[in-house]
Amino acid sequence: PVFYVTCCLAKLHTGRLLFTDCHYEALMYTLLFFSSELASESNPSDHARAGTIFLSKSQTDVQDKRKSNHINHISHVSPGPLSKKYSSCSTIFIDDNTVSQPNLKSTIKCVTLAIYYHIKNRDSGRSLDIFDEKLHPLSREPVPEDYADVDPEHKLIYRFVRTLFSAAQLTAECAIVTLVYLERLLTYAELDICPANWKRIVLGAILLASKVWDDQAVWNVDYCQILKDITVEDMNEMERQFLELLQFNINVPASVYAKYYFDLRQLADDNNLNFPLEPLNNQRAQKLEAISRLCEDKYKDLSRASMRRSISADNLIGIRRSNAVLS
């Protein structure tokens, strides 16, 4: 298609091609196809090669912190005791945070920190009425007059999300999917998460992620038990509009999930938000070995199944498998 479009444009420029309606329609469809492909590749919530938005928004603050630390180091100001543990020849420190089984508390801290940077370094204040906390309050307490101007602190965002996850017994993977849906909403609907709408946007993303990810989903009425003053009708309407704004695209590829996980770890490292490290002992070593053997057996079964599906009737004889020898 690219070669066809290039030839058509070249011949059209030289005037040696009679450009009919069929050619024009084919050209437009081809251009629209490639423009949609490029758009999907630039969307981090859909494509694994696109950089996450929250990590780019945090870079300005991270660079300022590094400059401040550099100035303090030059001024001979003591940075204080080291809070990060380092492995040595005698002791190896590892954490229990993996891409398949993230640590719940650490993951929520990272996700809420990403939301904090989204709010702090927002481009503008584009929003919709369904997410406006003043139009749709989550509690009976009156909303402050400056509710749309004062940025929430990271601790406030963490307490809000932590309360929902603890009461609904949601998993750490659900927190990562929540962040994927949040950035997908901001890019699809061209919105900004700001002080006036962050609670309802986060609530809508958690609501949707819990239903898509967890086998035993939390019902909307259950959230009404957590947030006492919100109605089921309001939750249903917010969920419906959230899905429409996402264009009903709730699929999260494994590559996108892994990218968000590792970018969250990078965000934690940039902000000195260390994961809990414990020394490697015999018990933990045996546990890691058992998990690795379980994964190895699982992948062997998957590879055998794929080989059985791919082998044709003409190649049933003479197929052998041998172990690789590393020298």
Q: What is the pLDDT of residues 74-126, one digit of tens each?
A: 555 555 555 566 677 777 777 777 888 888 999 999 999 999 999 999 988 89
pLDDT value for 278: 75
* Between 100 and 240, the higher pLDDT residue: 240
What mean pLDDT do residues 268-282 have? Answer: 81
pLDDT value for 191: 93
What mean pLDDT do residues 157-165 have? Answer: 95
Helix H segments across the chain?
A: 2-14, 21-41, 53-74, 104-120, 154-168, 172-188, 198-213, 220-226, 232-245, 254-270, 282-310
User: Is 188's pLDDT higher than 70?
Assistant: yes
User: Is 165's pLDDT higher than 50?
Assistant: yes
Residues 83, 85, 88: CA angle, nearest 5 degrees: 150
Query: Which residues have C-beta within 8 Å of that of residue 190, sequence separation ≥ 6?
Result: 126
pLDDT value for 288: 76
Query: Which residues have C-beta within 8 Å of that of residue 148, sequence separation ≥ 6?
Result: 125, 134, 194, 195, 196
DSSP sequence for 201-213: HHHHHHHHHHHHH
Share of the chain above pLDDT 90, in %: 41
pLDDT value for 304: 67
d(CA 199, CA 148): 12
Query: Which residues have C-beta within 8 Å of that of residue 157, sequence separation ≥ 6?
Result: 112, 115, 116, 119, 198, 202
Q: Are 224 and 168 in contact (CB under 8 A)?
A: no
Q: Are 115 and 157 in contact (CB under 8 A)?
A: yes
pLDDT, tens digit, 9 for 90 and up, residues 32-81: 444 444 444 578 889 988 899 999 999 877 666 665 554 554 555 555 55
CB atoms inside a 10 Å sphere around CB 148:
16
**Phi then psi for 251, rounded to 5 degrees?**
-80, 135
d(CA 50, CA 88): 36
pLDDT value for 155: 95
d(CA 210, CA 177): 9
User: Is 23's pLDDT higher than 50?
Assistant: no
SS3 at position 194: coil
The mean predicted confidence, pLDDT, of the chain is 78
Angle in degrees, 0-180, between the axes of helices 104-120 and 154-168, rounded to the nearest 10: 140
Both tokens of 63, joined, read: 């660079």
* Confidence tier at 312 by pLDDT (50, 70, 90): low
What is the C-alpha end-to-end distance of the chain, expressed in Å? Answer: 47
pLDDT value for 91: 76
* Between 21 and 225, the higher pLDDT residue: 225
Q: Are 179 and 157 in contact (CB under 8 A)?
A: no
DSSP sequence for 18-67: ---HHHHHHHHHHHHHHHHHHHHHT-TTT-TTSPPHHHHHHHHHHHHHHH
* Confidence tier at 176 by pLDDT (50, 70, 90): very high
**108, 165, 243, 283 from 170: Cα distances, Å:** 11, 5, 20, 28
Both tokens of 6, joined, read: 């290039």
d(CA 82, CA 86): 10
What mean pLDDT do residues 286-299 have? Answer: 77
* Confidence tier at 194 by pLDDT (50, 70, 90): very high
* Confidence tier at 308 by pLDDT (50, 70, 90): low
Q: Are 183 and 201 in contact (CB under 8 A)?
A: no
Tokens 């957590």 belong to residue: 226
* Confidence tier at 30 by pLDDT (50, 70, 90): very low
CB atoms inside a 10 Å sphere around CB 276:
12
